[in-house]
Amino acid sequence: MGCLLYFYRMERRKKMVKVQLVVLLLGLLLMLIKFTAYFLTQSNAILSDALESIINVAAGAFAMYSLWLSNKPKDEDHPYGHGKIEFISSGFEGGAIIIAGVFIIYEAGLGFFYPPDVKQLDVGIYLVAFSGVVNFLMGRYLVTYGKQEHSDAMIADGKHLISDTYSSLGLVLGLLLVNITNYIWLDALIALLMGLLIVYTGLGIIRKSLAGLMDETNTEILDELLAVLNDNKRNEWIDVHNLRVLKYGSSYHIDAHVTLPWYYSLEQAHEELGYVDKLISEKFHNNIEMFVHADPCVPQSCSVCMLTDCKVRKSAFVAQVTWDKESVLKNQKHSLV
């Protein structure tokens, strides 16, 4: 069973790298289209879009490398695997986006004082619109697939492509205005607004990558985990505490303490912890590694213990406690007293 699971994971990860490779090749094609549009039109706004496409390609290449590296098996030097590289990849992508945005803002500023001789805008509009549609489709697919595989690198790359689509849409609308009004200064204004939007997008991606590197609690995943535990809890599981969820690439590492009746044998405790492991692994499609520690109950646990056949109770059951973020993250057994 373990071998089958390993090969299943490897095949799934290989598919992720192949998907990223296709996106990278399409990004190269779109970059050529955008630079063709710039050379035909001499538009600063189109140049800003073309320059950002260089970042798309560079970030896509780094994302593909990070996916390949994160999929390498654990070794003695990396006992938790190589998944943290995905956070570095998304951080690099965010930084590259900011650099591109700053350069675009600089070029836009020059455009106000030295307006270019814009021409053939109709051709440029068609080429930019086509590139924007392809970017949106690729971005949506990467975000959806990245969420399915819990890959931050793919999600970051997909969001980058989607933000590129929005800037391309604004660019097309702005170029239409330039074409209709012949106000060339609008070209520089559009480039300036696109640069600011791109910088904002980059800052958001860096913020998320730093959160992952610093092992910030992922509240979305924690909420999913708590919902599964609350919906499937057994009476023997008196409480769950000292819960930690860490993310390594597309995989999760979970530490937790589960309070069980103090008189359970080692075999009984191991069986109950096995139920917890199986429940969580099924929910997260085996993309998870769990280390669960068994704690013995104490007299204060009786008030929240739902075991009806316990013969050693020190006090009566009072109320069932819903496991929430406040209670499970503390290194403290649950009680009502």
DSSP letter (8 states) at residue 292: E
The DSSP letter of residue 323 is P
Q: In this structure, what token pair is assigned to residue 291?
A: 């280390």
The letter for the amino acid at 40 is: L
In this predicted structure, what is the pLDDT of residue 165?
A: 79
Q: Which distant-in-sequence residues (6+ apart) come within 8 Å of 140 by Cβ?
A: 158, 162
* pLDDT reading at 153 higher than 50: yes
Q: Quick one: 264 exposed, middle or buried, by C-beta within 10 A (0-12, 13-18, 19+)?
A: middle
pLDDT digits (tens, 9 = 90+) for 183-233: 777 777 877 887 787 788 788 878 777 766 655 566 677 888 888 888 888
Structure confidence at residue 84 (pLDDT): 64
Closest Cα partner for 157 from 82, 92, 203, 217? 92
Q: What residues contact 36, with CB distance under 8 A and at least 6 apart?
A: 127
| Homologous superfamily of domain range 219-328 | Cation efflux protein, cytoplasmic domain (3.30.70.1350)
Give the Cβ contact number of residue 143 at 10 Å.
Answer: 18
Q: Report pLDDT digits (tens) over 34-82.
A: 888 888 887 777 777 787 777 778 777 777 776 666 666 666 665 555 5
State the DSSP code for 298.
-
In this structure, which topology does domain 2-213 adopt according to CATH? Alpha-lytic protease prodomain-like (1.20.1510)
| Axis-axis angle for helices 152-181, 121-149 (nearest 10) | 160
**Which residue ranges make up each domain of the chain?**
2-213, 219-328
pLDDT value, residue 261: 92
- Residue with the bigger pLDDT between 140 and 287: it is 140
Which one is predicted more confidently, 232 or 147? Answer: 232
pLDDT, residue 1, reads 43
Q: How large is the angle between the packed helices 121-149 and 44-70, nearest 10 degrees?
A: 20
Of the two residues 136 and 60, the one the predictor is more confident about is 136
Chain centre to alpha carbon of residue 20: 15
pLDDT recorded at residue 2:
44
How far is the C-alpha of 150 from the C-alpha of 274, rounded, in Å?
24
Q: How confident is the model at residue 5, as a pLDDT? A: 44
Mean pLDDT of the chain: 77
| Predicted pLDDT of residue 336 | 76
Q: Which residue has the higher pLDDT, 72 or 245?
A: 245
Q: Is 6 left (phi over 0), alpha (psi -120 to 50) or beta?
A: alpha
Instruction: Give residue 260's pLDDT.
Output: 92
Q: Any idea what DSSP says for residue 42? A: -
| Token output for 195 | 């640069």
Query: What three-state secondary structure class fits 245?
Result: strand
CA-derived radius of gyration, the chain? 26
